[in-house]
Structure 1
Amino acid sequence: MLSSLRNIIFPKSSGKPSAVLAVGHFGGMMRIIHLRPEDGEIERIGGSPFPTTFRYGGAVEQSREELGEVTLYAGHDDADETVYNFLDDISARMRSQYSSGMTLAQLVQDIFRPVALNAIHKRKGRERLMSPTETFPVYLVYVMRSSERIGTGPPTSIRH
């Protein structure tokens, strides 16, 4: 009976399916890129601690997959060495490859996954510098969002 009431108040089918790329550790600081399927606008959410289940601004995680890991240099100023510049690289590539009318499956198959994997691969095997490094997992997170934008508020999950 309680589950029926919950389904009436919070139906699972309501919302808009989408996906985000998340760089960082769940349970810690993460940086997020969301390419809106409707219009190709890119939202960036960064520097927020995220619980183990992604919930942010009305978006709720449905599933996730780890695409790989990227090692970036801490405190190094080269163009592709910081987390923010890594995400700038991914955002620019996403923007250039987006075309209107793409389904979520097409976005994931043709843009999200190949762009992220290419950016990860590009940074593997580089000459090591003396600067300290940190390795971050990169996730593709499928979400259901209640509004057009994800970046409308702080993380809202209380589930850990």
Structure 2
Amino acid sequence: MPYTADERINLSPKVLSEYIISSQHRRVGNANKCVWTISFEEEVNCFSNSFTENWISNSKAWGLIIENDFLKVIGLNNDKQELKLAKFVDANKNNIWHGYPADYMNRAQDIPLENILKKWVTKKYITKAKMNKIRRGISCNL
């Protein structure tokens, strides 16, 4: 399905929420926003997988993409550093979500919750040592 920016995407019955691909996280050069480097479809699939895997708490969710047993680069921060974790939010708590590449090293609010990090360790997506670095906002080789 071809997706477009800034339109609601109904993901039912797979996910009982709507998702918006936010154009503000697609514009290269926006000094205040992290930007996706993956396709619209990959972004939507990452969001859907966050729900399927229950990487959610309240109105926040986190995601990642595994490709050939490695975390895939999904976006860039303001300094053009590669990012491999995603954060999704339902800011108005109305079941309409949007997401962006999470810059856990520079933005404390982008650090995934500990219970989600532990799920990733259990699935061997990250190591316990990397989990501890992420929790503290320290750069690590994901």
TM-score (normalised: structure 1): 0.26
Higher-Rg structure is 1
TM-score (normalised: structure 2): 0.29
Q: Which structure is higher in RCO with an 8 Å CA cutoff and minimum separation 6?
A: 1
